[in-house]
Structure 1
Amino acid sequence: MALSCIAQPMSDVAALRARLLAWYDENARALPWRVPPHSGRRADPYFVWLSEVMLQQTTVPHATPYFLTFTSRWPTVSALAAAPDADVMAAWAGLGYYARARNLLACARAVAADHGGVVPDTEEGLRALPGVGAYTAAAVAAIAFDRPANVVDGNVERVMARLYAVETPLPEAKPELKALAARLVADDRPGDWAQALMDLGATVCRPKSPLCTICPLLADCAACSDAYPKKSPKADRPRRHGVAWLLTKGGKVALVRRPPKGLLGGMLALPTTDWRAMPWTDAEALAVAPVSAAWKGAGSIEHVFTHFALTLRVMRAESDAPDVEWTDRSGLEAMPSVFLKAARVGLGL
């Protein structure tokens, strides 16, 4: 990795940092897990950690109501550690990647059991917790404890790619972008610096139509264009097929709990066939139906996961069956979105 072409004198780095921090002092986003710059307070490490986990696969507007719900129900890491798995998984529904919710619980319980409910204050200590990766450890260390950590999310990658006109496409450019960001980390206000870069990427250096004319780093930027970061062509997403079974009894719907490991593990869901490359014929599907009933086709849905796209046909029947968990229709919102979509189609909603 050759960085000599973009290496900056330390005086230039200091001036760049001063410009961005001054901008942040005036333009910092008001977020429920954040403390304002120069407030004299530090952010709650539990709030920072929880927000970072939630934000890994979604946006601030989408994550915020979930964060407020979690912190209202479980205001401390010890309270979360004591929560039943099913309650946490249900509260997570709609945020995707349920393995993160399972890791969230495992981490909270480790903090409660091994650290007296006190979140470790170093990257090394945070990395030792279950489910805490390099990015989350750096973010919590910087934002909650003011440690000089290199916090690089998608927003920061985009800022670095434009600031230095990095021609290497993503994802290959990730190590280069992380190294560039590391050059700008300093002992002065590391938490504010990390959040300033994030805010710049989220509000000014946007993925499309960046607001270059009002950017505090305009004079430093080599690109000033949404042509960066460069991206490698995406591989085609494979398609899988399955059948979901919507069994109803009056105003109730039969649900099952998925196995604890694997995709959507531990979540309440509609019973389904396996999800495979070839579509299921009616005969194949009926041969593995969860109960014997007068099943009829009730539509289908499309759903996109990170690594594959799913076509899920919905079969519906009315029957009273044992060994299922009957749930009022009003309780279906606790299911992952793929099953909620299927249930709504099957119910004609």
Structure 2
Amino acid sequence: MDRKQVMAYRIAAQGLHREAADPHELAVFDLGVQDNQRGGPAIALAARLSTPATTDDRFALLWSHRGAPHLHRRGDLKALVASLVPLSEADAEARMGWQRTQVARAGVPAAEALTVAARALHKAVGRTMTKGDSSTAVTKLVPDGFSLWCRRCGATHIFEQLMRLAAPLAGLELVPGATPATLTPMAQRGPVPVKPDVRAATAVMAAYLRLHGPATPGEAGGFSGTTATAAKEMWPSDLVEVRLDKKKRYLPADALPLLENPPEPDVVRLLPPSDPLLQARDRDLLVPEKAHQKEVWKILGNPGALLTDGEIAGVWRPKTAGNRLSITVRTFWPLSPDVRERVGQEAEVVAAARGLTLSKVDW
């Protein structure tokens, strides 16, 4: 397979041809839609739905993959939470991410630390509480080695990543749109799961491969915040091998017909910074030019991405003034007048998704 065919497949698999009318039907919710608190999910949905719609009480927001906030179908929460229990100590260490060294210094195995923190959160947060209050309460219940002094907060509190990973296991979700971040118990809150669920973890790998495939174990594991070795322990069995750039990649067998004959990716979309399409771990495939990658994925403050005819063709940034929205677009190459006109139409869609009126599009 070649790169253009894979891009066309992913655009179709992720619903960017706008064939669905109900957000609950969107395949991207098989993994969840990351929420960056800047209207990202609303814009991601607007890029995929045939009629204007928003998420409703069928969806829940929680820290899930990599400890990042994602919107998920409520009906998927039980399996999702089960999939977040590490399969091994190495898996748990990897999921600690940027704070794995601090957790290791506590002298407690990472998997045990996660269980201890989840049980403490389950006990400490029995009602709706801000993240700060939740952190203060749980810090009193965990071993001293699980917390540190935070200069910004002026207080000692539990490790950030440990709290994020433990919260869904403790049956806690986030209140959408709340500032500051606020935790609340799930309606169907059960005990803290401690036993790994290989089937649930495998379902996450399969969903990644279906939406971002063909892909490798390292790429699929990276989405979950773990290693290629751990990903292989939860690897689906019903896969086909695909060669792309002389590299072995994998795809669910029943998705092969769509990969072999995807619809033409003749869509123009303004995608939010954390859009599902941009969550793939093979950035060289999504955006081949290194200079363009630096424009799409920044250390802080990512812009949105402009998708045109199967390529990430530029970036965009919004600016609000009252209830009016202006959008500045920077392209990686010249666009035809027709495409520029369609970008203007998509800017109207973005404004409507955010409940604003479009003021102008600057190029």
TM-score of the alignment, normalized to the shorter chain, above 0.5 = no
TM-score using structure 1 length: 0.28
State the structure with bigger RCO (CA 8 A, min sep 6), 1 or 2: 2
TM-score using structure 2 length: 0.27
Larger fraction in strand: 2
